Structure 1
Amino acid sequence: MTDSRSAWSVFVIFLRLGLTSFGGPVAHLGYFRAEFVSRRHWLSERSYADLVALCQFLPGPASSQVGIALGLSRAGYLGAMAAWAGFTLPSALVLMLFALGLTHYGSLLAPGALHGLKVVAVAVVAQAVWGMARTLCTDGLRITMMMVGAGIVLLHPSIGTQIGVMAAAGITGLWLIKPAESNGHEPLPITVRRRAGVLWLSLFVLLLGGLPLANQLLSNQTLAMVDAFYRSGSLVFGGGHVVLPLLQSEVVTSGWVDKQTFLAGYGAAQAIPGPLFTFAAFLGAAMNQTPTGLGGGVIALLAIFAPSFLLILGALPFWEALRRSQRTQAALSGINAAVVGLLLAALYQPVWTGAIGKPADFALALLALVALMFWKLPPWLVVIAGGLSGWLLSVAA
């Protein structure tokens, strides 16, 4: 029998998620919640929300950082690597193969099937919003903070607005929310000591400042690639689509990848599960100068995700200590209400607006929601059924 706390077990669990998690970072957080909070009980609803709040504040892909932290809490450093590898490698491998043979991988999913997957993402996010709201928005103040936060983000959609809403909610919670004395939390079994956390954070800063200098001194193409993708992963808040303009300026403007190839890879990235940051693997494999091919894809992939590892490993030891205090708990209660508001806003834009366009879409989304919440079907099965249903509807139309 496989040890549930082994790195291999963590890899297998995240591999299944990496193969079936369509819908972008918001949907990924919904899949993670269903798998690790509702089904496996690795951590409580509140601990999960606290972890999401931390990763929302850090630059880089929030859903991947949540996955790294979950793997770390389960099986240490090897678990963190296993979680990242399982969740990331499926989409990264497909995109690298696509870069090596665009004509063979240009139609990875039929348009109808892809649309069905987007519709299922509506149900996944709706389930996450409902479950987190019931636990984290338990009174009028927190419900109001959730609704106000959602409204502000919808009216002024930007990463700065999201961070501002969470900061304002934290300050409001600090002054107005009094956590109950019995309102304890279930801490993650963090295996990183504070001294190690300082070292990881120091390494993050050293690489961020040192790689550009080393690139200027040595003028090496591989080093230039590492610098470009590491910087992209370090300086982008919000992850996902937000990284695309920066990547375009790094690889298209420099002439490493032509614009048509860049756009083709971006289109393929929308049709597969897993984190959008794996688009870097496509770009590395599609380079018109060495390193290119699979080697270039691996270098770009590791470089863009390296900041995520360093930041989450460096921040978690201090985060766990801070969240034990009553004042921090009060601020986190406000932030958690805001996080639900952000998810609510994302449920409408872009998840709902990008998927629901006709009555059949709404019917399919409602069926998927019932399957998840009341029939208790596993998310991966609902995802496959949603893709198949979308394809059948497109054929019948």
Structure 2
Amino acid sequence: VNFPRRLLEIFLVALRLGCTSFGGPIAHIGYFREEYVKRRLWLDEEEYADIVSLCHVLPGPTSSQVGITVGISRAGLAGGVIAWLGFTLPSAAVLILFALGVANAENLEESGWLHGLKLMSVAVVALAVWGMARAICVDRIRTTLAGLSAITILAVASPSVQIYVIFAGAIVGWVLLREKFAGVTSSRRFPISKQFGICSLIAFA
């Protein structure tokens, strides 16, 4: 597939996901997995899980970062930009139209349709979490680590606790799982140099 056609493919797939993915970033990750991993085979389960884990550590919406990373893996920086545009444009357009309509609406908090959307979002997020858990928590160590992390975050409702749990999970995983993944390498290479990555990290900091 030539480069322009690959960019078009990335854009159209991201655009369709942007038009059909509901429920917020966590739910989007489930939709992405169905499309990029199971349907199109652009990534395998381990690669996708690695991307999601890394994007969770970064500030900002995880789903957008995952989509950008998938685009980069397919067609470099241009692919990342195209994936971001395709996924973001539908929601941006709908939000603008929604805002124009809400300005003239009354008693929005009591609207039955809005309450229905909230309930639907809960179901979508739960389905996405369950799908990711089945793919990633494949042994006792990872299942226990995920369970303890969930209990901690639910018990202590604080944004800072989430950061502590993420880094604690990284340390525990490194100690308990490093032998399991010793020598495991991915054949996928991202078309971005280390120098560019370092410069981007410095600019971000």
Per the normalisation by structure 1, the TM-score is: 0.45
1:179 maps to 180
Output the CA distance in 2 between the equivalents of 1:138 and 1:61.
26
TM-score, structure 2 as length reference = 0.83
Judge conservation of contact 1:22–1:118 (CA < 8 Å) in 2: no
The residue type paired with residue 30 of structure 2 is G
Give 1:66's aligned residue.
Answer: 66
In the alignment, what sits opposite 1:24?
24
Residue 157 of structure 1: aligned partner? 157
Letter in 2 for 1:179: K
| Structure 1 residue 21, shift from structure 2 partner | 1.3
1:10 lines up with 2:10 in the alignment: yes
Which residue number in structure 2 is paired with residue 131 of structure 1?
131
Change (3 A) 1:11 1:105: farther
Query: Counterpart in 1 of 2:54?
Result: 54
Residues 1:99 and 1:148: Cα distance change in structure 2 (over 3 Å): closer
Q: Which amino acid aligns with 2:18?
A: G
CA deviation string 1:119-170 (max 9, x = no partner):
4444443443333333322222221111111100101123221121121122
What is the letter of the counterpart of residue 73 of structure 1? S
CA–CA distance in structure 2, aligned partners of residues 4 and 159 of structure 1: 42
Question: CA–CA distance in 1 between the matches of 2:148 and 2:123?
Answer: 23
Query: Distance in 1 between the 2:122 and 2:73 partners?
Result: 29
Measured in 2, the distance between the counterparts of 1:106 and 1:203 equals 45
Partner secondary structure for residue 6 of structure 1: helix
Asked whether the equivalents of residues 33 and 128 of structure 1 are also in contact (C-alpha less than 8 Å), the reply is no
Code of the aligned partner of 1:204: F
Write the deviation string for residues 311-340 of structure 1: whole angstroms up to 9, x where unpaired: xxxxxxxxxxxxxxxxxxxxxxxxxxxxxx
Identity across the alignment (%): 49
CA distance in structure 1 between the aligned counterparts of 2:121 and 2:5, rounded to whole angstroms: 29
Distance 1:33 1:61 in 2: 16
Return the alpha-carbon distance in structure 2 between the equivalents of residues 147 and 100 of structure 1: 42
Q: Single out whichever of 63-72 and 157-166 deviates more from structure 2.
A: 157-166
Q: Does 1:145 align with 2:145?
A: yes
CA apart distance, 1:172 = 1.5
CA distance in 2, matches of 1:141, 1:113: 42
C-alpha separation in 2, matches of 1:125 and 1:200: 32
Bigger relative contact order (CA 8 A; separation at least 6): 1
How far apart are the structure 1 equivalents of 2:3 and 2:116? 36
Q: Give the match for residue 200 of structure 2.
A: 200
Is 2:93 the partner of 1:93? yes
> Which consecutive unaligned segments of at least 5 residues does structure 1 have?
206-397
Equivalent pair of 1:74/1:189 in contact (CA under 8 Å): no
Tell me the SS of whatever aligns to 2:202. helix
Asked whether the equivalents of residues 153 and 161 of structure 1 are also in contact (C-alpha less than 8 Å), the reply is: yes
Q: For 1:346-396, what per-residue CA distance to the aligned partner results, in whole angstroms no more than 9, with x for missing partners? A: xxxxxxxxxxxxxxxxxxxxxxxxxxxxxxxxxxxxxxxxxxxxxxxxxxx
Alpha-carbon distance in 2 for matches of 1:101, 1:180 = 52
Structure 2 unaligned spans of 5+: none
1:170 match: 170
| Matched AA of 2:160 | G
Give the direction of change, closer, same or farther, for the CA distance of 1:106–1:31 in structure 2 (3 Å limit): farther
CA contact (8 A) 1:5 1:75 kept: no
Alpha-carbon distance in structure 1 between the residues aligned to 2:53 and 2:66: 10
1:86: how far off?
0.8
Summarize the alignment of residues 195-344 of structure 1 with structure 2, pairs less than 5 Å apart: 195-205=195-205
How many residues in Structure 1 have an aligned counterpart in Structure 2? 203
Q: Write the letter of the residue equivalent to 1:29.
A: I
1:112 CA drift (Å): 5.0
> For the pair shown, which has the larger CA radius of gyration, 1 or 2?
1
